[in-house]
Structure 1
Amino acid sequence: MATDYDAPRVTVDDELAADSLEELKTRRNDSQSSVVDVEETDTAESFELPGADLSGEELTVRVIPKRADEFTCSSCFLVHHRSRLASEEGGQLICRDCA
């Protein structure tokens, strides 16, 4: 597409000023559709992990108890080392990420 650099530039403000209120309402109503196009194949059940068949698999996780030098953040509920403690207000321990 060729550009005419000698033509006066039209700014966005000029375009908005030229549009009438009725035209803007019509555009808004036309762009909003009350019909949602949902197909049955759009569910999360149709997604497959690449190269993995986890059907019938049982995952096991080893849970390690909280150590003496660790704390649980009262905001994000993650276990952090004491070096990550930002504040302790009224028994509420807050990590540096949440502070």
Structure 2
Amino acid sequence: MATDYDAPRKTEEDQSEESIEELKARRHDKNSGKVDEDETEAAESFELPGADLSHEELAVEVMPRQDDEFTCMSCFLVHHRSQLADEKALICRDCA
């Protein structure tokens, strides 16, 4: 693309005036009055294949706590003893 380097350059004031004029012109644009639709309402109308899991059952086997594990009293996650930061308060290193 050819550039004419001899053409007069626009100052910042000219550019700001142009942008204000563009904004005024866009204000009266037909599309500016439209309101964007709510994303959650749009997402509720979509039906994904395999999304109905009402007939499925969740089978989880709960393991008893091991001797080398503890439950953090801050985040309530089960950690290995090597992650223990405070033995009295039973706080993991991530929460300490």
TM-score normalised by L of structure 1: 0.48
Point out the structure with max Rg over C-alpha.
2
